[in-house]
Amino acid sequence: MSNKIVVGAQWGDEGKGKITDMLAETADLVVRYGGGNNAGHTVIVDDEKFELHLIPSGILYEDKKSVLGGGVVIDPEAMVEEMEGLEDRGISLANLYISETAHVIMPYHRMIDALEEKRKGDSKIGTTGKGIGPCYTDKTARRGIRIADLLDEGRFRAKLEKALDYHNVLLEKVYDAKTLKVEEIIKQYQPYIEKLSPYVTNTSLLLNEAHKQNQKIFFEGAQGTLLDIDYGTYPFVTSSNPTAGGVCTGTGVGPTTIDDVIGVTKAYLTRVGAGPFPTELDNEWGEYLRDKGHEFGVTTGRPRRCGWLDIPILKHAVRVNGLTEIALTKIDVLTGIEEIKVCTAYKHGEEIVEEFPPYLESEIPYEPVYEKWPGWEEDITGVRDYDQLPENAKRYIERIEELIGIPARIISVGPGRKQAIRR
Ligand code: GDP
Ligand code: IMO
Ligand code: MG
């Protein structure tokens, strides 16, 4: 049995939703292991567009189990909204499972996320404002509230009282903001708890039982390698581990369960939010990629910053995730560009740096060293056979494979489920 991780190799929005949906056809379970509704995964099936934030992309197949592992942070309001949105479109939730140990995003997490960004001013992270960082902070500070706590009213109240003892002081004294009341939050959360409770279970047990029965599990990453709290461009990162290592801690399966790790890689590069971006195109080519690739955030609507493909980043992603292959997406967006650039290293002062630097804060900039490749004019969105691609597109793909040392087994040429080439 082949259990796979689908992980973002860059700064998120690589097309993980599309690739997961495409591959999920052969899976029995699709599992989210980290992040929350900061994610926005687009899946297009027969011209119908779904934007998923918390629920795994596998939900669109009625017979697959969709699981939210304990590493996910769940905003009950956002979760219920997403569930109802899917039900309204005729999607069944009968196979949805939510971990009892996932942490819960509370109203004060969203407030602190916004207040902290405001306090930081020019040095803000550019978060999605969904309360993700403050929720993970409470988890590690051991004052978080978990899904199982919501199911017992006495326990929920006791934990919330304790949490507010702390958070109200913070809100009032540090941020000069309004404080919150236990009763109001309980009243607000009650209908969400009722909606969520039938889906809550021990998902680690569920996954391990499924594995014993030789069922096939796909782990759907959120965010991307460079947003990882440990291996990303810290501090401009999210507060979890989107990298492959996050699967074990985020779902309660052991590393021996995993067979393949697919790194979803956009054929160029985007980033939403603040932080370093050596190959960023702050010119008409950046705008060209943004327009043609519809590079606007699914969760916040913000325009994504665009730039050329960065090989040191991909080599870093291959290494820290143990990638076995990449799925190269959005190569169709490059059609029509006369000369495509690929960053193969950085110039840092007099030095040529070939590996992505773990510490980017430096007075001396990391300037991209580019290779230039001729582009192609042909529309490739209908191509399904690798040999039918224009020679220059093949050359670009094969050069990437050579530089990163692993194959691109899936090449995505459009947003639709069927728009891909498999090799
Ligand atoms: P995710 O967060 O990694 O799931 O990616 P997003 O859904 O945030 O962003 C990817 C965007 O690119 C979505 O609008 C997808 O529909 C779209 N997309 C995915 N693959 C392709 C592709 O190969 N070509 C084109 N043109 N669009 C794609
Ligand atoms: P998907 O799964 C792109 C970014 C935010 C910000 C940083 C921290 O769709 O690829 P947070 O709200 O997590 O504290 O914000 O992380 N970010 C993403 N960028 N795609 C995502 O998810 C992201 N999730 C978080 O823009 O820079
Ligand atoms: Mg996204």
Mean predicted lDDT score pLDDT of the chain: 97
pLDDT exceeds cutoff 90 at 101: yes
Residue 295 Cα to ligand 3 midpoint, Å, equals 10
Q: Is 139 among the catalytic positions?
A: yes
Atom of ligand 2 nearest to the CA of 298: 9
Complete DSSP assignment for 389-421: S-HHHHHHHHHHHHHHSS-EEEEE-SSBTT-EE
What's the pLDDT tens digit per position in 307-317?
999 999 999 99
pLDDT at position 105 is 98
What type of residue is 221?
G
pTM to 2 decimal places:
0.97
Name the residue of 328, 330, 335 to mutate for ligand 1: max ligand atoms within 8 A of Cβ. 330
Percentage of residues of the chain with pLDDT beyond 90: 97
Q: DSSP character for 75?
A: -
Closest ligand to Cα 303: 2
User: Ligand 2 in contact with 102 (CB < 6 A)?
Assistant: no
pLDDT exceeds cutoff 90 at 358: no
Name the residue of 60, 238, 272, 329 to mutate for ligand 1: max ligand atoms within 8 A of Cβ. 329
Residue 396 Cα to ligand 2 midpoint, Å, equals 28
What's the pLDDT tens digit per position in 119-139?
999 999 999 999 999 999 999
What is the average pLDDT across 55-78? 97
Q: Is 13 among the catalytic positions?
A: yes
Model confidence at 46, pLDDT cuts 50, 70, 90, reads very high
Pairing, β 41-45 against β 48-52: antiparallel
Percentage of residues of the chain with pLDDT beyond 70: 100
Residues 261-281 as b/e (b if ≥16 CB within 10 A, e otherwise) read bbbbbbbbbbbbbbbebbbbb
What is the average pLDDT across 255-272? 97
Residue 406 Cα to ligand 1 midpoint, Å, equals 22
pLDDT exceeds cutoff 90 at 299: no
pLDDT exceeds cutoff 90 at 351: yes
Q: Are 67 and 248 in contact (CB under 8 A)?
A: no
Q: What domains can be seen in the chain, in order of their start residue?
A: 4-101+199-261 (3.40.440.10), 103-195 (1.10.300.10), 265-422 (3.90.170.10)
pLDDT exceeds cutoff 80 at 1: no
- Other beta carbons within 10 Å of 409: 16
User: Ligand 2 in contact with 414 (CB < 6 A)?
Assistant: no
User: Ligand 2 in contact with 228 (CB < 6 A)?
Assistant: no
The tokens 């060209």 sit on which residue? 288
Binding-site residue set for IMP: 13-16, 38-41, 128, 142, 223, 238, 302
Q: Is 266 among the catalytic positions?
A: no
